[in-house]
Chains A and B, each alone.
Chain A
Amino acid sequence: MSDATTSSAAAKTPKVRFSPQRVWTMAMATVTQLIRMKILAFLVLFCLLAVGAGFAFSVINPEQQLSLLKSVTLGALQIFSIVIGVVSTALLLPKDLEDRTLYTILSKPVPRFDYLLGKLIGVLMLIGGGLIVMDAILSLILWMRQSLLFDEAVNHLRMEKMDSAEAVTQMREIVARQGLTWNLHWAVWAIFLKATVVTTVALLLSSIASSTLFTIVITFCVTIIGHGEALIREFFFTPNLSGMTGRAAALLLAAICPDLAQFDIVDSVVNGEIVPWSAVLNMTSLAAIYVTVYMFITHLVFAEKEL
């Protein structure tokens, strides 16, 4: 066939471009797959157990009761959103390749980037859906619990004959600060952002490696290192701590791993501190930058991958 025939046919054939509909189709198939694997049910069940555990410890005052409930539940949400993000992502890509499902998908007019993005969005939709459900349940429990605890505390003050207006107002403020506030939703949002970044790292590793176990182990290592970026920076900027090799290794780690400590606002929320809008905006922007960079690298790797 002449080059002219090829080029004229190529010119006549419309280019296949990025398609949100195609990405949505991939994302919905991924969500359906994970839901039918009962992953969401497992997440919700575990977190409900965590909420139950929040009541199980003996407490001294209402403030401690509410703080403990938030601490245990948000901690469980944090761990499980990361675990589900990493494991689901690490399983899905190699499984598609192993089952040859990837061949039937990519032999259709589907750009590889659309496939990757669809998979990522599917996993994030599942995590996001689970977190929204848990946020709603936790909000409801906190709201009910804070009313009950406030009444109990006021009764206690009354019995102790310490129920002055000032003391009751102070108690209301303490309980309200530890009860249901917007801060709780920001904490859940931060958990989602952290899980999003870690899931994107898992997708990148999954596109490089063919082993699910390798992807899971390395992603968890990156997650652990990502929580210690401040230490790495300190190590790098303190001249007397190490030689050139150590500093180079620290620089490399800092460059590769995301700074996950930036998303750690759960402790502040548990302590009843106010999370400013600027902090939320910074976290969201940072997560967007990480996701864009990691997805770009993933696309470069996956576009060249021999299937």
Chain B
Amino acid sequence: MTDFGFKLSKSSAVELDKVDTTLFERLCEASPDARICMNCGSCGATCTAGPYSGMSLRKVLLGLQRGQDVRPLLSGCMLCGKCTMVCPRGINTRNLILNLCRIYD
């Protein structure tokens, strides 16, 4: 192959219209709250597991909508409920996490 001095690599852009959001939609059925996150970041900042697993519910919800694997984030969650306490939108975060853990495939 001719070396043109640059390579074509797969684009790192998210093809938003092609992302598989089935899991997110299923989560929304169980926890409609999942749709109302405004990405303020309170949950991630206060998260007890954050320093260990990088957990941030905001990232989990956004990641699901962008087709990312969020399992590593979720794995540290201790269900302590701090995110429920600080969420300005009043999302029932613990129930949402439990539902997500139930339906994840």
Same complex for A and B? Answer no
User: What is B's interface to A at a CB cutoff of 8 Å?
Assistant: none
User: What is A's interface to B at a CB cutoff of 8 Å?
Assistant: none
